[in-house]
Each structure stands twice: as structure tokens, then as C-alpha cells.
Amino acid sequence: MERSFKQEVELLRLGEGETFHGEGILAVTKALLQSGVSYVSGYQGAPISHLMDVLADAHEVLDDLGIHFETAANEAGAAAMLGASINYPLRGAVTWKSVVGTNVASDALSNLASAGVKGGALIVIGEDYGEGASIIQERTHAFAMKSQIWLLDPRPNLETIVRMVEKGFELSEASNTPVMLELRIRACHVHGSFKTRDNQPPRFSRNNVLENADFDYGRICLPPSVYAQEKHKVEVRMPAAVRFVRDQGLNEVFPGRLSEIGIIAQGGMYNGVIRALQQLGLADAFGESQIPLYVLNVTYPLIPEEITRFCAGKRAVLMVEEGQPAFIEESLNALLRRADLQTTIVGKDVLPMAGEYTGEVVLSGIAKFLQVVVPDGVDPARVSSAYEQITAPKRRAKELLSEPVPARPPGFCVGCPERPVFAAMKLVERESGGLHIAADIGCHTFSTLPPFNLGNSVLGYGLGLASSAGVAPAMGKRVISVMGDGGFWHNGITTGVANAVFNQDDSVLVIMKNGYTAATGDQNIPSSGRNAIGVPSQMDIEKTLRGLGVEWLKTVHTYHVGTMVKTLRGAVNSAYKGLKVIVADGECMLERSRREKPIIAQKLKAGERVVRTRFGVDEEVCTGDHSCIRLSGCPSLTIKPNPDPLRTDPVACVNNGCVGCGVCGEVAHAAVLCPSFYRTEIVSNPTALDRFLHRVRGAVIGWFQGGAGARPA
């Protein structure tokens, strides 16, 4: 796993009045238990992937309460589980990664939102938006509006997050509507404390089962029920949600002495806003703001009377809404004009139209707002001076740099088993010319970056093969598609492989079988051999492919670059017309290292023999061509000055990050490059035989070197 929470999950047993100290995701889990949830599911993805890890590590706590937990094959499966809350008073929660996950789940969510729920249904969304995101830049807000699902955006502190989880279930039941709770990456990882309550056993669970099935045709999403459901959403559910949010005070107002202006902010933006005000001298260290704040812990639906009450009597209000379109800002303008209030709403004219609202961005926006509005009691010169002083170091750094700092794109880990596959593709391209490669979501997407630059399109998780169906018939060469084993089980089986076999597509598919959803923290998948709580899965990619009708199928160990080159060449040039699948089999090196490191440490402590493999470059043999670096791209393979004063080209060098995977040497051999690579075995706690062999080898080498290389044992 990305992290083990086996010690931290004991915090989930805290009872009434005790104090929880920990991380945001762990607090969310505790809030679920305090809310009497009956079942939990989800699909991993930043920034909520370790919520799945916490739930897996906490399975004993869940079992004691009778809570059912299972990891879903994809987001659609998780969303469909919420169907239990349609007919029965069962509280359910699911989680996944932001918009891309919601898109996969959209079919089930649309039906769920239309039918409505009896039991509270909560969807914890990892709002992965901004420069730190690994996905397309879209917001959850649009989907919430489209399907009439209420959207919570809590202030990033544990007390508020926990309260919003608990109130989210109540809001769902009060309005018979599913609720989304979005958490940005900083909220997921924020640390803090809150007073706990006792965990609540669910009303119905495996410990207290339902006796009879419920049937209500009005909850089936077919005409004429759907017409009544849509009317019910607008006339009953929405007003009920507005009443609950208003009566429970889910949104927060913080008064300030500068009453002629104000700031309205999404809950998730609160920390950035209050920090900016502190830096400008308009808030103290305890968060007391001089400017009145209205914090939207519920961003949909908005509460008209709260907005008009806050804005009444103010000349201007700044709306801090991250992302585009500016849904909230436009709604504020409409609400105020309808209420005949002439308060000016300032938003995207001083804040960026799109992009993450970092601390620097929010600081700049608030400073510009104050300079434009010039409220009584605020010295514009002081604000400008504070802003200039804060931003001066960055401007100075730019002046000192003679040129921009080179971009440092992400890349494969040291020893990654997927790197040699793309090195093999580069070698095949040398023979066949440029190939169209349909890339996919996952670690292997790094192939689109230097030094490989392989991958012409990325359309979605598990959609690499499906995305090649349109271009393949128009290409003069066979198209290669890439798919991870996570993407295979998530979506690729049906949208990719089944579709290609059904249509007899003449294409090549490479499946990266590293054993985990490695890009999200090494969570278990069907081909890992065991599920999240360690139960054997007995599922296999090759057997599944055979069952789907794939006839041309070869499995190749990823580190054998020469074999991979031959197999790829054979697939591209094969006379067989149909889908050709190559399973590139190699365990994630990061996960392997995590698994083996404690074992090796234990052996060393016990004085047992341990052998480590390292690779190096012979400086006298290296020609300085550096093709090995361009074809391998390993971070541990770098350059250093040439020791020969008559040669100016730097030589290749393997640094201490080497994990001994051997790809550099394999690539050099497969590409018929210089024979400068050597393999070394480092023996800890050597035996008498190891010492004897070392002396013999040293003597033989010394003899061949005319005594110059002889060294004492």
C-alpha cells in the first residue's frame, strides 16, 4: 500500500468525548462510523486513494459494527451499490476521484438521483483540480447541478469536515437526495483534532438484517415514474434541502468591522482566504477577520435569503470561486438583482478565470479587490506595501535567474518494469518508422514525456484500445495500444478487448501487468492475487483474455528487452488478422522494494547472507554517445565528467539510486550499443565460500592485468 494505517485505525475506536488527533482522511472514516453507515465502497484515485487503504486496514473495526466494505472494480460499480439506499433506510458511502470518476459513475448516479433515497447516500469526491492534479481540469459542481445532487465543500479543518460528513447523511435523508462531499488534496492531508462520539452500529446490517424486500414502482426509473421523480426533485426535494441547510446553519458567517465590503468563498477556499488576509494585516493569527466572510460549506444549493442578508448594505463583495465556469458568481448576480440589491459582485475580474487558487493567487486577488473598492478603514498604500513585500522574493528570484528553470516533468520510478517496454517500442520504431500509439491512464502515461515521447492520444482509464478503433483502419501500419492491468479490470475488458474481438479489429495491445493500481498507491486489483483485505482472488489476465476469444496472446517478462523487441516486431508484422495481445509481466519495483526491504533488514540484523545487485559503467569503455540514457530514461543513469583529459564528452554513470533491475544493460545489448555496462553483486555477511571465491577472482583478474589489478582479500 501507499501507506499502512494499521496503527492509526485504532483511533477509529475512540468514544464519546475523547480527542482525535490525525489526518483528514482518517477523520472522514471516523465520521462515517459515527454516522451509522451500513456499507462503504469506492475506487481509488488521488486525492482520496488512501481512504480505501484506511477502510481496508480497518476491516476489523467495520466487522465489529457489521459494516460491509468492498472495493469496486470501477466507479460505476461503487455508485450502483448506493442503490441499497433507494428502497431501505440504509446509510451508504462511496468514494472516488473527482470528475473523471464521476463520469464513469454517471449512469448509476443519474438513476440514483432520479429515484431518490430513503437512507442517507454520501459520495466522497476527491476534487483533484489544479497544478497538482493528474487529470483534465473540470469541477464536480456542474454534475451536481445537472443531476440535482447536493454538493458540500467543507472548510479544511477536521471539526468542519467531520460535521459535514454527519450532516451530509442527515441532509440526504431530509431531502431524499444523494449528497456529494468534495475534498481537495490539502483537506485530505490536513492534520488536526476534534472531539469524537461513539461509533453507531447501523440500523440494518449483517448484524441486524432486513426481513422483507421492498418494492415501489414509483422508485423505478421508467416512464411514467421518471416524470413524477423530476417534478418531485424540483418541488419537494430542493426546498427540503434549502430548509435543512438554512436551519442547521451549515454555511458560516464570520463578522468583521469593515461592513461595507465582504468576501464569499467556497468552504475549501477558506484557509487560503484567511491566510491572505493575515498577510495583508486584515486578520489575526487566530483567524479573526476584519472583513466579513460568508463561507459556503454547501455550494449547491445556494440559500437565497442567507446571500441577500449577507450582501445587504455592502458596496462590493468578492466571490472566491475556484475554476470555470463561474457557476456561483453568476448565481449571486442573479439572486441579488432579483432581490433588488445593487451590491457589486467582484470575482473573475480580479481572480483568474481558471486554474488552482493557491495562496499566492488568492493573495493577489484580494489585494486587487481592495485596491479597486478602496473601503473606508483600509489604507490602500499599506495593502500595496504588504503585497509588494510578500511577493518581492519571487520577483527577485526571477531577476537572479539568467534563464527560466528547466522543466522537470514526472517520470517512471527507478527500476520501473514499464520503462523497458517503451525502450523496446523505440527500438521497433527504428525499423518500422513512427507508429501511432494509443496511450492510457496510469504510470505508463509517462511514456508520452521525454525521453520516450510515445503516445499519440489519451482518452480515459482503460480506453487505450478503444481509442485506437477509429484511427487504425486509416493507418498504413498497425496501431499499438497500451493498457495497464488496473485499466484492464476497470474498463478495458468491455470497452477495449471485448469490442476489438467482437469487431475483429486488426490491432496490437500491450497490457502492463505490474500487479497493482500503482499510480494511485499500489492498491490491490484482481490480478494482484488477493483483494484489499487479503482474501485470494484467483483471477488471471491471460485466462480472462482467452475466455474473451483472444487467440494471439504472448506473455513476456518486461525486463527482457530483447525478447520484448522480438515479440513487438512479430505482432506488428504478423500475418494474423485480429487482436494481438502482449502481456508485459513485471511487478511494480516500488511495491517490490517496499515488500522486500523489511525482509532484507531482518536478515541483515540476524547476520544472514544477503546479496544485492548493482550495475555500473566502465568509464574507459564508454564512448559518451549516451544512447543508453535516451533509450532507457532511468533516473539512476546519468552523466559525469570524462576522466580522460583527451576526451571532452562526459561519460555515462549509474548513481546510488540503482535498484539493480538491469534495464540499462538490457537496452544496451538489445540496441547493440557499447559493452560498457557491468553487473556487480554486493554480498553482506559473506560466507567462507564467498570470501574464498573473492580471493580467487581477485587473483585471476590481477594475473590478466599483469599484477596491476591484484588487491589483497
Task: Domain ranges for the chain, please list them.
Answer: 8-247, 251-400, 419-591, 609-704
The fold for domain 609-704 equals Alpha-Beta Plaits (3.30.70)
Task: State the Cα–Cα distance between residues 469 and 492, nearest whole angstrom.
Answer: 13
Neighbours of 576 (CB within 10 A): 11
324 against 146, higher pLDDT: 146
Q: What's the pLDDT tens digit per position in 518-528?
A: 777 778 888 88
Q: What's the pLDDT tens digit per position in 167-189?
A: 999 999 999 999 999 999 888 88
First to last CA, the chain: 43
- Average pLDDT over the chain, rounded to an integer: 90
C-alpha radius of gyration, the chain, whole number: 30
The length of the chain in residues reads 713
The single-letter code of the amino acid at 543 is: K
Q: What percent of the chain lies above the pLDDT cut of 90?
A: 60
Task: State the Cα–Cα distance between residues 556 and 566, nearest whole angstrom.
Answer: 10
| pLDDT on residue 709 | 47
Task: State the Cα–Cα distance between residues 339 and 186, nearest whole angstrom.
Answer: 36
Of 93-107, 129-143, 194-208, 641-655, which gets the smallest average pLDDT? 129-143
| pLDDT on residue 707 | 57
Q: What's the pLDDT tens digit per position in 85-138?
A: 999 999 999 999 988 899 999 999 999 999 999 999 999 999 887 766 667 788
pLDDT category at 45 given cuts 50, 70, 90 is confident
Task: State the Cα–Cα distance between residues 349 and 665, nearest whole angstrom.
Answer: 56
| pLDDT on residue 4 | 60
pLDDT category at 496 given cuts 50, 70, 90 is very high
3: pLDDT strictly greater than 60? no
Q: Which of 151, 146, 185 is CA-nearest to residue 168?
A: 151
pLDDT category at 661 given cuts 50, 70, 90 is confident
Domain 251-400 maps to which CATH number in 3.50.50.60, 3.10.20.90, 3.40.50.620, 3.40.50.920? 3.40.50.920
Looking only at the bridges linking them, the beta strands covering 252-254 and 293-296 are: antiparallel
CATH 3.40.50.970 is held by the domain 8-247: yes
147 against 379, higher pLDDT: 147
2: pLDDT strictly greater than 80? no
User: What number does CATH give the domain 419-591?
Assistant: 3.40.50.970
Whose grid coordinates read 523497458?
420
Task: State the Cα–Cα distance between residues 444 and 516, nearest whole angstrom.
Answer: 13
Q: What's the pLDDT tens digit per position in 400-449?
A: 777 777 777 778 888 889 989 999 999 999 888 889 999 998 888 989 98
Q: Give the three cell numbers for residue 287.
A: 483567524
Question: In this structure, what are the phi and psi dihedrals at residue 384, rounded to the nearest 5 degrees?
Answer: -65, -40
Angle at which helices 359-373 and 380-400 pack, to 10 degrees?
Answer: 140
Angle at alpha carbon of residue 183, lines to 178 and 188, rounded to 5°: 135
Residue 559, H or E segment: none
| pLDDT on residue 132 | 63
Q: List C-alpha distances in Å: 39 to 67, 180, 296, 668.
A: 5, 16, 28, 53
Same CATH fold assignment for domains 8-247 and 419-591 = yes
Q: What's the pLDDT tens digit per position in 374-408?
A: 888 888 888 888 888 888 887 787 777 777 777 77
pLDDT category at 470 given cuts 50, 70, 90 is very high
